[in-house]
Structure 1
Amino acid sequence: MSRNTIDYRPFELPLPPGRARALPWISVIAASAVTSILPVVASLALMPPLGLLLLLTWRLLARFALRPWAAAPLGLFDDLVSGQPLGSSVLLWSLCFIAIDLIEQRLVFRDFWQDWLIATGAIAFCLTVGRWIALPLGAHVDPVLLAQIVITVMLFPLAVRAVAWIDRRRGDAA
């Protein structure tokens, strides 16, 4: 992806490099917190895991915005605020990062549809295995789990837009 060399805002100050590097972390932490803090009263858990969604979007859209080890501390924060068993998101998010790295070794060039397919697989994997970790196998939550996966996958284009906007705001300071 080539950058446009025309500067339409020549007098706007760029972000400091430390703050530009912190924006992906802050956005994932905020998304994880929003999922847990919003006062949504529902009999079914259909709230999508926004932290996971933004983490995958950052990894797929801006590869070097988050280090490969960033999935572990961000997953720990998500576990702490979401109430999932401690370490489940750490493990699952790290496995997603490893899987994406393996896919990137095979696919040199990707487009939006391939990113969406990769994110779909990672979301389905994390939500399904997270269900097996958190709930007893006799619990009948499969239709709700499927609905949550579909809702999260359908939000991926919105997450791509948000991450692209944040990444553009980061500018060349990173």
Structure 2
Amino acid sequence: MRAPRPSKFDAPPTERRRIAVASAAIMVGSLVTLVPLVATVPFLPPFGLLMLLAFRLRDPELFPSWGPLPLGLFDDLVSGQPFGSAMALWTLIYIAIDMIDHRLVWRGFWQDWFIAGGAVTFCLLGMRLFAAPLGAPVTTPVLLQAAVGVALYPLAARIAAGIDERRRRAR
């Protein structure tokens, strides 16, 4: 008599599901910019980028190096930024973090926070250059967005850790 086949319902979450959950969390982060919030100065940072950074700095092998392309496309479509700006900048940031990972032996949370802060600032300044003519000065709202983005990175890291911990507990 043969042993019964294992059920698909008893199998642990697969790699595809892990990537899909992280991608969905990043997309939800990009959708935060659609929340109707009345303000005289734009101060919402790119939450999709913060979530991407949180997942990338937590698990370097989650996405391949081209992984930010479709996520940046979604962010471009939702946020109204010029088409391709988030795709290009997120991919450049992702590759730069890969290069940093090859240089550093180990990282702590403070280093992750510093890397994420630099990445958010670079992305906001780059998007400002994409959206405005090259002669336009970088104004205070971009710096305010960068400061809020740096301050909210620990929250994004905690959300990514909670999602990852819940996935691991489900095994």
In percent, how many aligned pairs have the same letter? 49
Q: Which residue pairs with 2:131 in the alignment?
A: 134
Pick one of 68, 72, 83 that aligns with 2:69: 72
**Aligned-residue offset at 1:139:** 4.5
**Aligned-residue offset at 1:173:** 7.3
Pick one of 2, 17, 20 that aligns with 1:19: 17
Specify every segment of 5 or more residues in structure 1 that has no aligned partner in the other structure, as ranges. Answer: 1-12
**TM-score calculated relative to the size of structure 1:** 0.85
Which is bigger in relative contact order (C-alpha 8 A, separation at least 6)? 1
CA RMSD, aligned part only? 1.9
- The 8 Å contact of residues 76 and 85 in structure 2, kept in 1 or not, is answered as yes
- The 8 Å contact of residues 125 and 138 in structure 2, kept in 1 or not, is answered as no
- Measure, in 2, the Cα distance between the counterparts of 1:32 and 1:15: 28
- The 8 Å contact of residues 23 and 170 in structure 1, kept in 2 or not, is answered as no
User: What are the within-5 Å matches in structure 2 for residues 7-86 of structure 1?
Assistant: 16-17=13-14, 18-35=16-33, 37-86=34-83
- Measure, in 1, the Cα distance between the counterparts of 2:109 and 2:116: 10
**TM-score calculated relative to the size of structure 2:** 0.87
Instruction: State the 4+ residue runs in structure 1 displaced beyond 6 angstroms.
Output: none
Change (3 A) 1:165 1:107: same
Specify every segment of 5 or more residues in structure 2 that has no aligned partner in the other structure, as ranges. Answer: 1-9
- The 8 Å contact of residues 73 and 84 in structure 2, kept in 1 or not, is answered as yes
Change (3 A) 1:40 1:141: farther
Whichever of the two has the greater Rg, that structure is 2
User: What are the within-5 Å matches in structure 2 for residues 122-161 of structure 1?
Assistant: 122-137=119-134, 139=136, 142-161=139-158
Q: Which residue pairs with 2:4 in the alignment?
A: none
Deviations 1:119-143 (A, max 9, x none): 1111110000110110234555521
Deviations 1:125-165 (A, max 9, x none): 00001101102345555211111100000001111111000
Deviations 1:22-77 (A, max 9, x none): 11000001110122x20112221111110000001111111122222111100000
